Copies of this chain bind each other. A is one copy, B any other.
Amino acid sequence: MDVRAMNEMLPFVLRRDNVARYEEGVVWIGDRRKYPFEETFVRCEDVESVARAIEKMVTQGGGPWQAAALGMVMAARNVESKPEQEALETLAQAKERLINTRPTNTAMARRLEDSLEVAKKARVEGRSMEEALLDWVETLRDQTYESYAVRSRLGANLIEDGDGILTMCFAETAFILAMSMAKQDGKEIQVFVPETRPYLQGARLTAPSLHELDIPVKLITDNMPAFVMSQGKIQKYFTAADLITMDGHVVNKIGTFQNALAAHHHGIPYFVFMWGPDFESPDRASVEIEYRDPAEIRACRGTRTTLEAIEAFYPAFDITPPHLVAGVITKHGILSPYDLRPHFERAREEEE
């Protein structure tokens, strides 16, 4: 699926160039903090600006690694004329700074490590490091979007005409593209989107994205999914995952788990889009849940909802056990959550 065809099936916020793009020494990052009220970009002219933008949550999901990798392209341009050692040291510092923006994002860290090798190789070959890094980023991005297309196709095929669909948070390109494909396939769907407090990704990102694509969407609050199910309005539940452990536990935005419980009670299958295996996360016990600033629970988009003195509790993610998961959508197919380790070990062996 080529970039142009995919762009036409994606909303503004998810189009490749709007996530992050590089223009002769400048990295532009789509600003999700202001979306959907404003469609703006953060302009970064040095690595520090890119790092700060990532830290300030200008972009999320697949955005940070793309912005960081383009930050390396920019860094390379600025040291192109420097002696090899100085150039590579500066690039190594840039890499460290960018990795530190999201210490738990190991996929981003791995890619930024790779970027140094790409730069080194280009210098040895007498090629422009900037050009070599940009080619490398765009190839990675091609692979990423190709993986989205494959998984979205599998997701879209699960949908039947007339289905009501529940999601949670902002399940990004894989989910939105799947809905877009189902629509293109001529299926009528109705998506219910919980607002996803406290950060409101559902209200701010998912609902406007679907609306922009003319896909029928109804925004609800996070206390409504079970009731909507009880009314027979939901046939499938889809989310993304921040992490899926090798024994099939889905770590995703808080609320995913209780929706999965309600779905199970109502006989509604829950499907989760998986990026790839994380062999470092064998099981539930290996997962550390991130707790965020409780002050965010006491406000909503800056408006206070209770007294400052009230204590609050903000676990950012929850864990859905595999018995509540009907299928894990990977680029190799829709897997049982109980077959992830065997499957990905076989796949790894075949690759080697």
Q: Which residues does A use to contact B, with CB under 8 Å?
A: 36-37, 168, 192, 194-198, 200, 203-204, 207-208, 211, 216-228, 230, 253-255, 257-258, 261-262, 265, 297-298, 300-307, 309-315, 318-319
Contacts and interface: CB of A to CB of B under 8 A. Distances in A.
A257 B226 contact: yes
A220 B254 CA distance: 11
B261 A219 contact: no
Identical copies of this chain, number: 2
B313 A226 contact: no
- The winner among A200, A220, A262, A309 for most chain B CB atoms within 10 A is A220
- The winner among A37, A255, A262, A300 for most chain B CB atoms within 10 A is A300
A265 B37 CA distance: 39
A261 B220 contact: no
Contacts of A305: 195, 200, 203-204, 300-301
Contact of A224 (B36, B195, B208, B315): B315
B254 A224 contact: yes
Contact of A261 (B200, B207, B211, B261): B261
A136 to B, nearest CB: 37
B224 A313 contact: yes
B226 A261 contact: yes
A301 B305 CA distance: 7
A300 B261 CA distance: 27
12 contacts: A37-B307, A195-B297, A195-B305, A207-B307, A208-B310, A217-B310, A220-B297, A221-B254, A222-B223, A224-B255, A226-B318, A300-B303
Contacts of A315: 224, 227-228
Contacts of A224: 254-255, 313, 315, 318
A322 to B, nearest CB: 14
Contacts of A255: 221-224
B219 A37 contact: no
A298 B83 CA distance: 56
Contacts of A168: 223
A314 B218 CA distance: 10
- The winner among A207, A216, A223, A314 for most chain B CB atoms within 10 A is A223
A232 B136 CA distance: 47
A313 B192 contact: yes
A64 to B, nearest CB: 23
A222 B220 contact: no
Contacts of A298: 203, 219
A225 B37 CA distance: 30
A262 B258 contact: yes
A312 B314 CA distance: 26
B227 A312 contact: no
A304 B301 CA distance: 8
Nearest to A226: B258
A87 to B, nearest CB: 46
Contacts of A310: 203, 207-208, 211, 217, 219
- The winner among A219, A304, A306, A318 for most chain B CB atoms within 10 A is A306
A315 B310 CA distance: 28
Given A195-B297, A261-B265, A319-B230, A211 B303 contact: no
A315 B231 CA distance: 11
